[in-house]
Amino acid sequence: MDTKLMTETARAMVAQGKGLLAADESAGTCKKRFDSVKVECTEENRRAYRELLFTAEGAEDYISGVILYDETIRQSSADGTPFPQLLTEAGMIPGIKVDLGAKALPFSAEEKVTEGLDGLRERLAEYVSLGARFTKWRAVITIGDGIPTDYCLHVNAHALARYAALSQEAGLVPIVEPEVLMDADNSIERCLDITTETLHLVFDELHHQRVLLEGMLLKPNMVISGKGAAEQADAARVAELTLRCFHETVPAAVPGIVFLSGGQSDQQASENLNAINAQGPQPWKLSYSYGRALQAPAIKAWAGDPANVELAQQLLVHRARLNSAAAGGRYAIEMEELARAT
């Protein structure tokens, strides 16, 4: 295990003012995004869209690394440059989603457990040969009547730690992603309780399975009101409870916490990240690993037309610049201008 390399990579991924672009949508999720802009979800369209994202001029000033999907890490730009090489040459670190998705949890119909541990050691070795330097695994926790169960939290925490240990054995920095979904109508206080319990169990398992905390990143949800809740907590409250949760659960040895956006609007995701960072220095870097909240304006502007590539790239870089500012507590709503003007 190359402790020094992993520690350096993890730190580089959360260098000041930088965060991650999650572009690891499976073909199924990609289809949903493409459907929304009426683009056919073919392998070539997925490739062309990812090339647009990865070649946006200036993105590397704000984006330290990009999470790829199995298909994407094997694809190349139109001029034949493999994507991992293209990203590395542009100054962005290539990484790979290695889980095989959240599947039905036996004996608890509404809950999920993430699969993909079988054969993972061999798959990781191949990803290393393809240029990956970090990995991601997402566990999904659903809030509802009588759920999440302890059973669901335990099996997902165990799998996350198994994945993290295998990644580090291969010299890859694991991004450990336990996502408490924001789709229900729960209060922010319930999200705080569930997220706190989830993270306690995750760090317990990481410790038992000997994962090097200095060589990993945590990718959590923010502590936030459920989408359907009548009362929506504001950014100041989100910041207060999110930080309270992390101070209770996340060891200071973890170099960085990179949030998922999870269905927040792009502007809300920037405002909340900013409010969190405006609270002053914390033991860990607090940055972003957004999918939807970075890509939404770009995919809408692109809509499958090559003539729109440049505008879509400008919008992606603009969102990244705003989130970079938010990671330093320097975001202001007036900075949204370009997005509105276009």
Kindly indicate which of the ranges 52-60, 69-77, 284-292, 321-329 contains the residues binding ligand 13P, using the contact rule CB under 6 A. Answer: 284-292
Do residues 336 and 267 touch, judged by C-beta distance below 8 A?
A: yes
292 makes contact with ligand 13P (CB under 6 A):
yes
50 makes contact with ligand 13P (CB under 6 A):
no
Q: By CB under 6 A, how many residues form the interface with ligand 13P?
A: 11
Q: Tell me how far, at minimum, the Cβ of 262 lies from ligand 13P, in Å.
A: 4
Tell me if residue 308 falls in helix, strand or coil: helix
Kindly indicate which of the ranges 165-173, 187-195, 259-267, 316-324 contains the residues binding ligand 13P, using the contact rule CB under 6 A. Answer: 259-267
Do residues 175 and 219 touch, judged by C-beta distance below 8 A?
A: yes
In the bound state with ligand 13P, the residue whose beta carbon lies nearer, of 18 and 292, is: 292
Strand-pairing partners, residue 147, are: 144
Q: Tell me how far, at minimum, the Cβ of 23 lies from ligand 13P, in Å.
A: 9
Q: Tell me how far, at minimum, the Cβ of 97 lies from ligand 13P, in Å.
A: 7
Q: Reply yes or no on whether 89 is catalytic.
A: no
Instruction: Tell me the CA distances in angstroms from 5 to 1, 96, 163, 193, one per residue in order.
Output: 9, 17, 18, 35
Do residues 174 and 255 touch, judged by C-beta distance below 8 A?
A: no
Q: Inter-axis angle of helices 43-54 and 292-302, to 10 degrees?
A: 110
Task: Give the residue among 222, 315, 313 at the shortest CA–CA distance from 271.
Answer: 222
In the bound state with ligand 13P, the residue whose beta carbon lies nearer, of 164 and 293, is: 293
Binding test (CB under 6 A) with ligand 13P, winner from 148, 215, 291, 297: 291
Other beta carbons within 10 angstroms of residue 302's beta carbon come to: 25
3-state percent helix, strand, coil for the chain, nearest multiple of 5: 50, 15, 35
Q: Tell me how far, at minimum, the Cβ of 172 lies from ligand 13P, in Å.
A: 16
Give me the 8-47 binding string for ligand 13P, x by CB under 6 A, dash otherwise. --------------x-x-----------------------
Q: Contact positions toward ligand 13P, by CB under 6 A? A: 22, 24, 138, 177, 260-262, 290-293
Residues annotated as catalytic (active site), given as ranges: 177, 219
